[in-house]
Structure 1
Amino acid sequence: MRPLDSFRSFKVKLGVLVVAVVSVSALLTWVGLRAGLEPILAIPLVVLIALVFTQLLARGMTSPLREMTGAARAMARGDYTQRIHASSRDEVGQLADAFSTMASELEQTDRMRKDLVANVSHELRTPVAGLRAQLENIVDGVTEPDPAALSVALAETERLSQLVDHLLDLSRIDAGAIELDLEEIELTPFLHEVVDGAALAPGARGVRWVIDVEPPGLTTRADAARLHQTIANLLDNATRHSPPGGRVHVSAARTATDDGVRIDVHDEGPGIAREDRDLVFERFQRGGGSDTSGGTGLGLAIARWAVGLHGGRIEVIDDPRDELALEGRSSLIRVTLPDAGPRPGTRTGALDVVRTDGPDLGY
């Protein structure tokens, strides 16, 4: 029984407690004197009964504070699993709820930190191990330092460099703000330049590229470096999931409302499941399943951040291929940029990834 839990104010509780204890003490004193008890016996008895009554009435008022003290000590030792249970609705109860929420968020943050360290360690180990093995073979004479062997070492070095660049971008994301250098970009030569760079990657050999910009002179106002980074990450993702000899289609056009520009990247891979369309834009996620394509799981997360800087959105939309559309899978990613981006110095923000039905692209 916690009779004071119904009160929503701790001050009211204290007032009720004081009034109740004083009233009971006065009543007991009057009864004792009327019964003929000596004051030397009546006063200690009244004090004892008043203390017991206070404990019963005030039960639960301070127990959340004691729990929070114990939980704070546990959190100092790295244990974030402690939760505070408070039945009252006053300030102490609200504090207990806020403390439990904070503990839950700290537990999640600590888990994400551990996952980040584990994932980064794993991603760094793979190219470093490959590069070390190749160089050891060359030094020991097992492998001749011919162009083929050196190209393998170069590929691992480039993979390591890409991962480091991605981690630097993550640090910029966590910093929360970045300057944008907005300029008018003509998309036809710009997309050709990005595709030419993507075609040089080792995994892009044999991939066929199709670029379609309508109208050919279409322009958009954006930060060229960030937009290049976004499209390059999308193309890297597309080539890694394309079958041998597959086609990657890059298209750009005005949005249906003519107030922005959309850029689509579509490959012929197995596609992303409907339930994983949001997940792929999270850090170190690869579509909710096992992925042996060699990606770091950071490219799409960084692409979402870069698009968000421009006030745009990135989304996985329904695939125009009927066989994948029926299964709810899609390999079509769309970037939508507003006609005019935010002013330089805009703070980065969380980007809502939404799902929409895409139009028939006619291929």
Structure 2
Amino acid sequence: MKISQLYLKILFAFIMVLLVAILGIWGLLELGHIRPPFTLHAQNRSEALKQITVAKIGMAPRLTVELKQQLSDMLNIFASSFNGEAWIINKQGETVAKSFNYSIPLTGNENMELKLSSPQGNHIYLIEKGNQRSIYSTGTLHTASDTLTIHILNPWRTHNEEVWFMEGLILMASVAALLLIPVSRHITRPINELTKSAELLSRGDFSPRVKESSKDEMGTLAKTFNQMAHSLEKMVRGGRELTANLSHELRSPLARIRVSQQIIQERLESGRTDGVNKHVLKMEEEINHMDSLIDKIMKLSKLDLQEPPPRDDIVSMSDMLNEAVERITPLIGKSGILVKRVVETVPSYCCRKQDIRIVLDNILSNAVKYSPNEDVVHIECNADDDAITIRVVNSYDRLSPAELETIFTPFKRLGYNDIEGNGLGLAFARKIIEDHGGSIQASSIDRGFCLTVRLPLG
């Protein structure tokens, strides 16, 4: 089984946290901010033995032989509970009772380190001799007959508490290392899927997507990756379609220019000049048409590839609509179209004025161009709390849902090739409106075609 880099990093981080925690505990112990377990146990034993001894002696005026034997039996039971030794000495230094049958195990020459002194008169020492350590505690007890000193010795021969502590750490680290295996796999699985999808994406395959199975950071990353892949796929597909359509659109004027050039060449070779100016003017018109087409393509590409500039213009949408109608007045007069306007006063709108002007010119001129002569075009403009809505309705054959979406694709015109245009106007308009955070939708109604633009307020 291959060990992942992420697993090693998580395990290393866990071990480092564990070491920092151990060093922190050790530092607190050394500074005395917390008490080690052995001092707490020793103090509790000393206090417990003092209370038991007081209860045993009671108010006895003196320590009889029988009472001393009872104390020894009690000390034996008490000390056996922790494999230690306990004894009681009076103020004359005589041994009153002890839990063992041999001499006192301390000679007085041991190297003792005081670890704790309590207000109750208890003292706790740590005795070290080679690899052996012992805890030695004393406590003073005042009775009716004498002043006694209680001694407790708890051998710590194999450093049991440190061993248990280290064994616990090793066990905890081992269990954590095992548990981290499924955890790291759970984390790395979506990362590996994301890596494979990214590799396919880099090779030009935009179809792979990753599962958005969680709502955490990995889920957010997967969602963002899918959005990026979708945008790239859409952009590349659009670029390919745009290139193909542009090639198709340029082929026709180039062919007409070539024909005009051949006619001019033939006439000049035969010494004739009649009709040459007409063909030169046609060539100039075709060149201007191609130049205009390329200019629109460049602008559309910039909208796709660049961040839109800031919207710094504050305009009256009602005034802009009325001005747009005035600009297409010659086209209206030529076709005998009647324009009916229901334009309400709407809130001021923050936008890029020149871009919105292009949108209005496109949708209004299309409505007039594609309507029968002497027909009616309806224009409405109103606003609610959220957005400004513009609706333009003209007579047109019913379109299918697919056709209603196709009209926003560059160079798609759905027939009417005899009408001037190149199929870029609505694609341009949609991009501008979407860059403003709005929407533009086409729909077929009972007796015509409706284009609805919504521009969000605020």
TM (normalized to structure 1)? 0.52
1:228 aligns with 2:348: no
Q: Structure 2 CA distance, aligned partners of 1:97 and 1:335?
A: 29
1:305 Cα deviation from its structure 2 partner: 3.9
Q: Deviations over 1:33-69 (max 9, x none)?
A: xxxxxxxxxxxxxxxxxxxx99x98996667666655
* SS of match in other structure, 1:137: helix
Q: Structure 1 CA distance, aligned partners of 2:314 and 2:218?
A: 50
1:162 aligns with 2:292: yes
Shift in alpha-carbon separation, 1:266–1:64, aligned structure 2, 3 A? closer
Q: Deviations over 1:170-207 (max 9, x none)?
A: 213542224443445375454122333x579xxxxx63
Shift in alpha-carbon separation, 1:115–1:315, aligned structure 2, 3 A? closer
State the aligned residue count: 274
- 1:138 maps to which residue? 264
Shift in alpha-carbon separation, 1:214–1:130, aligned structure 2, 3 A? same
* SS of match in other structure, 1:255: strand
Considering Cα pairs closer than 8 Å and 6+ residues apart, tell me whether 1 or 2 has the greater RCO.
1
- 1:298 maps to which residue? 424
Q: Deviations over 1:296-317 (max 9, x none)?
A: 3321122234445667654435
1:230-249 to 2 correspondence within 5 Å? 230-238=359-367, 241-242=370-371, 246-247=373-374, 249=376
Shift in alpha-carbon separation, 1:140–1:211, aligned structure 2, 3 A? farther
* SS of match in other structure, 2:442: strand
Shift in alpha-carbon separation, 1:144–1:313, aligned structure 2, 3 A? same
Q: Structure 2 CA distance, aligned partners of 1:145 and 1:208?
A: 36
- 2:45 maps to which residue? none
TM (normalized to structure 2)? 0.44
| Of 296, 319, 325, the match for 1:191 | 325
Letter in structure 2 aligned against 1:225: Q
Q: Structure 2 CA distance, aligned partners of 1:224 and 1:86?
A: 40
Task: Calculate the aligned-residue CA RMSD, in Å.
Answer: 5.2
| Of 336, 342, 351, the match for 1:208 | 336
1:236 Cα deviation from its structure 2 partner: 4.4
Q: Structure 2 CA distance, aligned partners of 1:63 and 1:187?
A: 55
- 2:449 maps to which residue? 331
Q: Structure 2 CA distance, aligned partners of 1:64 and 1:256?
A: 46
Letter in structure 1 aligned against 2:445: D
Q: Structure 2 CA distance, aligned partners of 1:317 and 1:75?
A: 36
1:284 Cα deviation from its structure 2 partner: 1.8
Q: Structure 2 CA distance, aligned partners of 1:226 and 1:313?
A: 14
Q: Deviations over 1:258-309 (max 9, x none)?
A: 99876554444324334543453x442737x667467433211222344456
Q: Is there any run of 5+ residues in structure 1 with no aligned partner, and where?
A: 1-9, 16-52, 201-205, 322-329, 343-363
Q: Structure 1 CA distance, aligned partners of 2:423 and 2:199?
A: 36
8 Å contact kept, 2:390–2:452: yes
8 Å contact kept, 1:241–1:270: no
* SS of match in other structure, 1:331: strand
8 Å contact kept, 1:250–1:264: no
8 Å contact kept, 1:248–1:268: yes
- 2:66 maps to which residue? none
Q: Structure 2 CA distance, aligned partners of 1:248 and 1:262?
A: 23
8 Å contact kept, 2:332–2:338: no
Q: Deviations over 1:237-276 (max 9, x none)?
A: 3455445xx3464444553869987655444432433454
Letter in structure 1 aligned against 2:313: D
1:127 Cα deviation from its structure 2 partner: 3.2
1:84 Cα deviation from its structure 2 partner: 6.3
* SS of match in other structure, 1:117: helix
Shift in alpha-carbon separation, 1:87–1:300, aligned structure 2, 3 A? closer
Letter in structure 2 aligned against 1:331: F
Identity of paired residues, percent?
25
| Of 303, 313, 322, the match for 1:181 | 313
- Structure with max Cα Rg: 2
Q: Is there any run of 5+ residues in structure 2 with no aligned partner, and where?
A: 1-8, 15-177, 269-273
